[in-house]
Amino acid sequence: MVRARKTKKELADQQGALSMMAPINDAIWIVRLGMACFPFLKPMRHWFESVKFCCDRMEKRMHVSFGLNKLLTLGFLLFFTKIANKNGHVKTKVDGVDMATFFLEEYYSHEKEESVEVRRSLLMGSAITAMFAGSDTTRAALVSVWYFLCKYPHHAEQTYEELRYIDTTDANVLAALPHFNSVIKETLRLAPPTLSGGKRQTGPGSLFVDGTFIPAGIQIFASKYVTHRRKSIYCLSRRIN
C-alpha cells in the first residue's frame, strides 16, 4: 500500500465496517437490526464484504494446508508436507506459521468432538474476530512497543539478544523469555490500547467505595491508563521497569 499509495479494498471494507460499529458499540442490537433490514447500506456492505473476505481466505488456507488428505492427523500432515516439500513433490503457498495456522490446528483438533458445521462456524468466527476485534488494539500495541524500544535502547538490546538464536515461531519458547515478555507487559501497562473499560452499573441499593457514595443506576468506568501509572502500585510508574 505504501508503494502504490492506495488503500487495499479489504482494509477499506474493514474500516468502513468499524466506522459503523464504534459509535453504537453499547447497542449492538442496532447493528444486528441494520444487517437484517438494511443490508444495502454502505457500512453494511463493508461488513458483509469483510466477512466474505475472511471466509474466502480461510477456505483457501484449508485447501492449501490440508487438502492432501483430511484423514491424516495434524501432526503427521505437517510432517508429510515438510518431507514432500523437501523432495519437491508438493508446493504450498504458505511459508512459516501465521495466525491462521493456529485457527486451523484448533479446527482439526476437535474433529472427534464436534461436527463439521460447529467447527467451521468456530473457524470462520475466529478469523472474523481476528480481523475486527483485535485489529485496532494490536496496531496500537505494536506502535507503543516500538516507541518504548526506541526510547529505551538498552531494553531493545536485551530483547534482541533473547530473540537472536531462538525459533520465533514457537509460542512456548517466546512465552518463556523473561525480558521479551516484560517489555510487552510494561508497554501494555504504560500505553494500554484500550484506555478504559470494564464498566459496571451500580445496583438498586447503591454502594460506598473507599468512603465515596455512588447512587444506584450509575455507570462506573475504571481508567486503565490512570490506574497503571499510580505511584502507590508501581515504583517506576511512568517508565518501563
Each residue of 15-59: pLDDT tens digit?
888 777 666 666 777 777 877 888 888 888 888 888 888 888 888
Each residue of 113-165: pLDDT tens digit?
888 888 888 888 888 888 877 777 888 899 999 999 999 999 999 999 999 99
The predicted pLDDT at position 25 comes to 62
**φ, ψ (nearest 5 deg) of residue 193:** -60, -35
Q: Is 212 exposed, middle or buried (0-12, 13-18, 19+ CB in 10 A)?
A: exposed
**φ, ψ (nearest 5 deg) of residue 207:** -165, 165
The predicted pLDDT at position 203 comes to 86
Distance from C-alpha of 220 to C-alpha of 214, rounded to nearest angstrom: 9
Q: Which three cell numbers stand for residue 139?
A: 496496531
Name all contacts of 125-133 with Cβ < 8 Å and 24+ positions apart.
127/54, 127/55, 127/57, 127/58, 127/100, 127/103, 128/50, 128/51, 128/54, 130/99, 130/103, 131/14, 131/50, 131/53, 131/54, 132/14, 132/17, 132/18, 132/21, 132/50
Go through 157-185 and write b for each residue having 16 or more CB atoms within 10 A of its CB, e for each that does not. ebbeebeeeeeeeeeeebeebeebeebbe
Q: Which three cell numbers stand for residue 87?
A: 523432495
Each residue of 50-104: pLDDT tens digit?
888 888 888 888 775 544 334 333 443 344 344 444 444 333 444 566 778 888 8
Each residue of 201-237: pLDDT tens digit?
888 888 888 888 889 888 888 888 888 888 888 876 6
Q: Which helix H or strand E contains 92, and what residues bound it?
A: none
The predicted pLDDT at position 20 comes to 72
Secondary structure class of 185 (helix, strand, coil): helix
Count of residues in the chain: 241
Distance from C-alpha of 201 to C-alpha of 208, rounded to nearest angstrom: 13
The predicted pLDDT at position 70 comes to 42
Residues near 212 by Cβ (< 8 Å), separated by ≥ 6? none
Residue 163 near residue 178 (C-beta atoms within 8 A): no
Secondary structure class of 98 (helix, strand, coil): coil
pTM: 0.59
Residue 50 near residue 14 (C-beta atoms within 8 A): yes
